[in-house]
């Protein structure tokens, strides 16, 4: 179980959008199904040597809040770790980047809210995906209401959009590029059906709130697709960690 390591640091441009964990009503999607859907989505956190999460105390709306930063991409977590080691070398000397399934963050947040309601995870979407979302969804403001963009393929039918499926699954992409590639591939299979299909933007917190308050058949078909960048980052990180150490031959 991850605990908390509090370091008084400043994060510039923080997206102060905590993951909301609402009490589950009778109609909510079962907790086990939510966790299963989130299990394959990697996120990047900063922990110390014993696995304690990095936390930050900040002022928001005149009140002090304690947040735990969670990054959707490795490079953003690495940038914060570099900043920590430069500004607080002693406090952060054992800090490291830890890959955690989003399902684990969800479970921990649920437990934390029961014990410390003022503590919350705050997600940091990548700048590029925010820009992609801004281009697709107007008017759009990158603020606390829109933490992590999700990209889906939909067709407008009358006054509403209907999502496009493949093999009875509706993918929700964390990266626009993957959504575009998927759309192009599906168009080749069925040009007439998806001739008017387009990429639409949703948000992670909206989907999670929907899971927690509603339960309908279409939810069963939703599947999260991590960005290609995060998957590649994990591959490289694990390869570096498992690479055997080499020693220089003695002269």
Q: How far apart are CA 62 and CA 173, in angstroms?
A: 36
Residue 152 near residue 163 (C-beta atoms within 8 A): yes
Q: How far apart are CA 126 and CA 248, in angstroms?
A: 39
More confidently predicted of 8 and 66: 66
Residue 56 near residue 63 (C-beta atoms within 8 A): no
Q: What is the pLDDT of residue 6?
A: 34
Q: What is the pLDDT of residue 37?
A: 94
Residue 109 has pLDDT above 70, yes or no: yes
More confidently predicted of 175 and 216: 175
The DSSP call for residue 221 is T
225-239 average pLDDT score: 83
Q: What is the pLDDT of residue 43?
A: 93
- 152 three-state secondary structure: strand
What's the token pair of residue 223?
């599947």
Which range scores top for mean pLDDT: 130-144, 156-170, 200-214? Answer: 200-214
Query: Domains plus CATH for the chain?
Result: 4-124 (3.40.1350.100), 127-229 (3.40.1350.100)
- 156 three-state secondary structure: strand
Q: What is the pLDDT of residue 34?
A: 93
- The CA-based dihedral angle spanning residues 22, 25, 29, 30, taken in that order and rounded to the nearest 10 degrees: 90
Average pLDDT over all residues of the chain = 77
How big is the chain by its Cα radius of gyration, in Å? 20
Residue 200 near residue 161 (C-beta atoms within 8 A): yes
164-178 average pLDDT score: 87
What's the token pair of residue 146?
């829109």
232-238 average pLDDT score: 80
| Per-residue pLDDT tens over the stretch 61-76 | 677 777 888 999 999 9
Residue 78 has pLDDT above 50, yes or no: yes
Residue 47 near residue 95 (C-beta atoms within 8 A): yes
What's the token pair of residue 22?
């609402």
């Amino acid at each position: 179980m991850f605990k908390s390591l509090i370091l008084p640091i400043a994060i510039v441009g923080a997206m102060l959008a905590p993951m909301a964990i609402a009490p589950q009503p009778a109609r909510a999607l079962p907790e086990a199904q939510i966790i299963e859907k989130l299990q394959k989505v990697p996120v990047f956190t900063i922990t110390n040597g014993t696995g304690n999460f990095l936390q930050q105390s900040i002022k928001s709306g005149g009140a002090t809040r304690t947040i735990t930063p969670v990054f959707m991409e490795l490079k953003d977590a690495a940038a914060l770790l570099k900043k920590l080691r430069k500004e607080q070398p002693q406090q952060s000397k054992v800090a490291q980047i830890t890959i955690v399934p989003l399902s684990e963050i969800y479970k921990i947040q649920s437990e934390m809210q029961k014990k410390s309601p003022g503590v919350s995870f705050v997600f940091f979407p990548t700048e590029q995906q925010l820009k992609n979302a801004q281009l697709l969804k107007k008017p759009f403001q990158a603020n606390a209401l829109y933490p992590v963009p999700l990209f889906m393929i939909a067709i407008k039918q009358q006054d509403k959009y209907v999502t496009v499926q493949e093999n009875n699954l509706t993918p929700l992409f964390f990266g626009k590029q993957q959504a575009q590639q998927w759309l192009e591939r599906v168009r080749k299979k069925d040009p007439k059906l998806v001739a008017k299909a387009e990429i639409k933007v949703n948000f992670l917190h909206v989907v999670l709130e929907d899971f927690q308050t509603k339960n309908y058949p279409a939810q069963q078909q939703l599947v999260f697709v991590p960005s290609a960048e995060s998957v590649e980052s994990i591959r490289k990180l694990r390869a570096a960690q498992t690479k055997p150490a080499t020693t220089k031959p003695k002269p």
